[in-house]
A and B are shown apart, each in its own frame.
Chain A
C-alpha cells in the first residue's frame, strides 16, 4: 500500500518536473518547485513507512517548514525586486 503511495508521489513529481522544465513564466516554475517541495515532504514521510523507520517524520516536519520559508522568500524577492521588503514609502505593497 505504501508502495502504491510512493509510486503515486513519484509520478506526480515527474509531472511537476515537466511543468518546471517547460515554464513558460517564472511563476509556473515557482509553483512547480513549491509543489515539488510538498511532494518531497510526503515522499519522506511515506518512505519512513516503506523502510519501516517511522522516525523519518521528524525530517518531513522540518522540510514542510523549510519549503514554506523558501517559497515566501522567493515570492518576496519577486514582488519587491529585492529581499528587503516593501520600500518605506510604498504602503500598497505591505500586504505580503
Chain B
C-alpha cells in the first residue's frame, strides 16, 4: 500500500511539473484522476512492490549518486584520453566481476552503474558474477577491488 501511495505521489508531482498548471481546479482534478488510473494499472500489472517502487533506495540515492557521478566524470576523462591518444592504447578485457547484492534490484543497480561508467560495460549475468567488458585491464582491476560493489550493497540496504 505504501508503495502505491508513493508511486501515486511521485506521478502526481511529475504531472504537475510537466503540465505547469497549478491553479485550475478542473485540470488539477483531471490530473489526479489520470494518476490514480496509472497506479491502478500498475497494481494490476503487479509492478507496485519493493522492486518497482524502491522507496528506501530513493532516499539513499542522495549519497550514492554524487559518488557515482564523480566516478563517471573520472572515467570519462580516462577514456577520452585513450581515444585522443594517437597510439590508441587499449587492452580490451573480459572478466567476471563478483557481486554481493542479495536482490535482483541491487544487482541491476550494480550492473547499470558498471555500464554507466565509461570504460566498463556489463555484458551479461553469469552464475557467480557479472560479465564485464573493459576497455583496459585496469578497469577490471578497479572493479575487482570491490569499492563500487560495497557502495551498491550499502545503497541497496537489504540484509
Contact = CB atoms under 8 A, between A and B. Distances in A.
A95 interface: yes
B125 interface: yes
Interface string A77-96: 00000000000000000010
Interface in B17-59: 18
Contacts of A58: 18
B141 interface: no
Contacts of B18: 58, 61
Interface residues of A, number: 3
Nearest to B104: A95
A28 B32 CA distance: 44
A62 to B, nearest CB: 11
Contacts of A61: 18
Interface string B116-141: 00000000110000000000000000
Contacts of B125: 95
A61 B17 CA distance: 13
Nearest to A95: B125
A61 B18 CA distance: 10
Interface in B74-124: 124
Interface in A33-75: 58, 61
A95 B18 CA distance: 33
A95 B125 CA distance: 8
A88 to B, nearest CB: 18
A44 B21 CA distance: 24
A79 B105 CA distance: 23
B111 to A, nearest CB: 10
Closest 4 CB pairs of A and B: A95-B125, A95-B124, A58-B18, A61-B18
Interface of B: 18, 124-125
Interface of A: 58, 61, 95
4 contacts: A58-B18, A61-B18, A95-B124, A95-B125
